[in-house]
């Protein structure tokens, strides 16, 4: 089931979109906190975004740019301001389509279905892991925080993905080694220590010191 994230501050329009899309078998999630749309996007982990331009706090262009820093999910602008300048601005910010208000719900659904087909039929859906403002895109292997991003090495990515999947729980060193090398035997224990140290340096450079906690004689965890 594909998830559609609706960023629309008019509750009537947002509710109508949600109901209609759910009627077509999609999971539709409406944004609630318009001051922190990126965090809600990460929590919903959607495959497509419907985004209004005129929003409280920051406009849709701002949030389009922020979402593009962490995800390649298709973004469709919905706006009554459908002049050429706004359409060009939307596309330059990374939007995939622009639908003028008022719109026919069936036409919108057809466009949504076409975008989802083109984006995921062969590539598969993407997923985001989020914790304390840090967002890990499991499709691209990029970690984002505070408007900055870094591309992780293969081992850094696998370690962080496992810790985020098990956040709040201690992950034994043997389990991490199993994820990295498909075995916990015949691997120098120091190799894992070096990889964790490199990941910690990457996290620190992004402004995330002490993101990973060491539990002596047990393993590591993200608290």
Running DSSP on this structure, what letter comes out for residue 152?
P
CA distances from 219 to 142, 160, 212 (A): 24, 13, 10
pLDDT of residue 125 exceeding 70: no
Other beta carbons less than 10 A from residue 9's beta carbon: 14
Q: Tell me the whole-structure pTM to 2 decimals.
A: 0.60
d(CA 3, CA 124): 13
pLDDT digits (tens, 9 = 90+) for 20-72: 998 888 889 999 999 889 888 988 888 899 988 888 988 888 898 888 888 88
Q: Enumerate the CATH 3.40.50.2300 domain ranges in the chain, comma separated.
A: 3-120
**What homologous superfamily is domain 3-120 in, according to CATH?**
Response regulator (3.40.50.2300)
Contact yes or no for 115/73 (Cβ under 8 A): no
Identify the helix (H) or strand (E) that includes residue 136: strand 134-137
Whether residue 84 has pLDDT greater than 70? no
Would you say how long the chain is, in residues?
Answer: 223
128-221 maps to CATH 1.10.10.10: yes
> In angstroms, rounded to a whole number, what is the distance separating the alpha carbons of residues 36 and 61?
14
CATH 1.10.10.10 domain residues, the chain: 128-221
Spatial contact of 27 and 18, defined as CB atoms under 8 Å apart: no
Angstrom distance (rounded) from CA 16 to CA 21: 9
Cβ atoms 153, 198 nearer than 8 A: yes
């Amino acid at each position: 089931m594909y998830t559609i994230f609706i960023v629309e501050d008019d509750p009537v329009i947002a509710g109508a979109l949600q109901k209609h899309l759910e009627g077509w078998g999609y999971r539709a999630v409406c944004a609630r906190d318009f001051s922190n749309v990126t965090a809600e996007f990460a929590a919903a982990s959607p495959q497509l975004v419907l985004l209004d331009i005129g929003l409280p706090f920051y406009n849709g262009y701002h949030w389009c740019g922020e979402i593009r820093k962490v995800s390649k999910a298709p973004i469709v602008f919905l706006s009554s301001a459908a002049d050429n300048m706004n359409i060009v601005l939307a596309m330059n910010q990374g939007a995939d389509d622009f639908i003028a208000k008022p719109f026919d719900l069936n036409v919108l659904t057809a466009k949504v279905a076409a975008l989802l087909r083109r984006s995921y039929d062969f590539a598969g859906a993407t997923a985001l892991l989020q914790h304390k403002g840090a967002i890990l895109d499991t499709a691209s292997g990029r970690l984002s925080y505070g408007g900055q991003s870094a591309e992780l090495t293969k081992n850094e990515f696998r370690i962080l993905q496992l810790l985020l999947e098990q956040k709040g729980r201690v992950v034994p060193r043997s389990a991490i080694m199993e994820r990295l090398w498909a075995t916990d035997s015949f691997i120098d224990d120091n190799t894992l220590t070096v990889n964790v140290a490199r990941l910690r340096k990457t996290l620190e450079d992004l402004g995330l010191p002490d993101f990973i906690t060491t539990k002596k004689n047990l393993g590591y965890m993200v608290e």
